[in-house]
Amino acid sequence: MIASLVRILRLGIKELYSLRADPILVVLIVYTFTFAIYAVATGAKFEVENASVAVVDEDRSMLSARLRDALLKPFFKEPALIGADQVDTAMDAGNYVFIVEIPPKFEQDVIAGRHPEVGLDIDATAMSQAGNGASYIENILLNEVTAAMPSLAQTDPINLVVRAKFNPNLKSEWFTAVMQVINNITILSVILAGAALIREREHGTIEHLLVMPVRPVEIMLAKIWANGLVIVTAAILSLLAVVERLLGVPVVGSLTLFATAAVLYLFSVTALGILVATVSTSMAQFGLIAIPVLIVMNLLSGSTTPMESMPAWLQDVMQVSPSTHFVALSQAVLYRGAGLSIVWPQMAAFVVIGAAFFALATLRFRKALLSMQ
């Protein structure tokens, strides 16, 4: 047992030297956990920001001017004042996402209690921004009318108090930044482990391993711990430097617990990367197989859209993916400060899945080595 552990350690160190000698992979790791995290977190937003808006003001009253001035930055750009005959042309050209149409005699009708209608034309090409923006504008208009004419405000039967926990400012980058780290852990784990095996085959060093007193399982474990060490270290540094310090996203949970879970998770996804590499004959073929696998694992893991919004049968199918359980664990630990007593079922799930992947990858890897002898 001790001799086997020593061989695994030395083979893993060899993997680290091989990785250091490959500048492309080193740059990929650094880029993935630095600029890629920052760019996606600050660029891909779900809330409304700098949306283009125009106003058709056919009333030209103080109330209509107040409604127009209430569409403020950073949610909206400076509102443009256009005529009613320009609405269709402007929407067809994609010049504005929102166009507010204030009818004639709007202020008079409001004072008289006639409940005038304000039109809102929306370019729903970008559905998320369109839906959120419509709610923003509706609330802004209602609040401004109520503030301008408090005597018209009706007493609500209840007083609803909303408290947003874990992300009180409802910033999308708080969610996107952490989930991007999780997704990148999955992507790099598969790519590095698979690329390491194919690199051995293309460079001919796999033949050197065949004449050494090492077993296939030892070669696999060496690749797993070496690549896993690099990825976990990069992920923790990214959470501390990029997510927490640069983006200002608070990480409330235990990084020790997260790192422990990440190590167990890496055991399963690196085994998956080796499994994909054993059925690939070249690096190009490995990429073609790995890309659709990674897309499905990331998009349907709960890191992009909630699991509850998926069909029940698809939720059941995705339970065989370790990424689904790791995303749930990471959200619980990093966002809500959950402890081991809460997340141990997720840890157990991807350990079991990882053991199945590792066993299958070992069989495939052993068969691939025997075919080369």
Q: How far apart are CA 373 and CA 273, in angstroms?
A: 23
The per-residue pLDDT of the chain, averaged, comes to 84
User: pLDDT band for position 81 (50/70/90)?
Assistant: very high
234 closest CA partner among 212, 266, 203: 266
Coil, helix or strand for 121? strand
Helices 255-278 and 283-299: crossing angle, nearest 10°?
140
Q: How far apart are CA 64 and CA 47, in angstroms?
A: 26
User: pLDDT band for position 298 (50/70/90)?
Assistant: confident
State the first-to-last Cα distance of the chain, in angstroms, to the nearest integer: 26
Asked whether 66 and 148 are in contact (CB, 8 A), the reply is: yes
Helices 127-148 and 62-69: crossing angle, nearest 10°?
140
Question: Which is more confident, 368 or 263?
Answer: 263
pLDDT for 236: 93
For the ranges 102-106, 192-196, 306-310, which has the lowest average pLDDT? Answer: 306-310
Total residue length of the chain: 373
Q: How far apart are CA 267 and CA 285, in angstroms?
A: 23
Asked whether 271 and 357 are in contact (CB, 8 A), the reply is: yes
Tens of pLDDT, residue by residue over 14-28, are 888 888 888 888 888
Name, in order, each residue with C-beta under 8 angstroms of 302's C-beta and a sequence gap of 6 or more. 324, 327, 328, 331
Question: Which is more confident, 160 or 78?
Answer: 78
pLDDT for 260: 92
Coil, helix or strand for 54? strand
Tens of pLDDT, residue by residue over 198-240, are 877 776 666 666 666 777 788 788 888 888 889 999 999 999 9
Q: Looking at the predicted structure, is the pLDDT value of residue 155 above 60?
A: no
Asked whether 101 and 119 are in contact (CB, 8 A), the reply is: yes
Domains of the chain are 2-44+171-372 (no CATH), 53-152 (3.40.1710.10)
Tens of pLDDT, residue by residue over 141-151, are 888 888 877 66
Helices 172-203 and 322-330: crossing angle, nearest 10°?
140
Asked whether 197 and 209 are in contact (CB, 8 A), the reply is: no
Q: How far apart are CA 296 and CA 324, in angstroms?
A: 11
Helices 2-20 and 23-32: crossing angle, nearest 10°?
90
Mean pLDDT over 100-105 rounds to 91
As a 3-state breakdown, the chain gives helix, strand, coil percent values, each rounded to 5, of 70, 5, 25
Q: Which two tokens stand for residue 50?
A: 């700098």
Task: Report pTM.
Answer: 0.77
By the 10 Å C-beta count (0-12 exposed, 13-18 middle, 19+ buried), 180 is classed as buried
Question: How is residue 241 annotated by DSSP?
Answer: I
What strands, in cross-sheet order, belong to the sheet with 80-81? 80-81, 53-57, 98-102, 119-122
Q: How far apart are CA 292 and CA 190, in angstroms?
A: 12
For the ranges 53-67, 156-170, 219-233, which has the lowest average pLDDT? Answer: 156-170
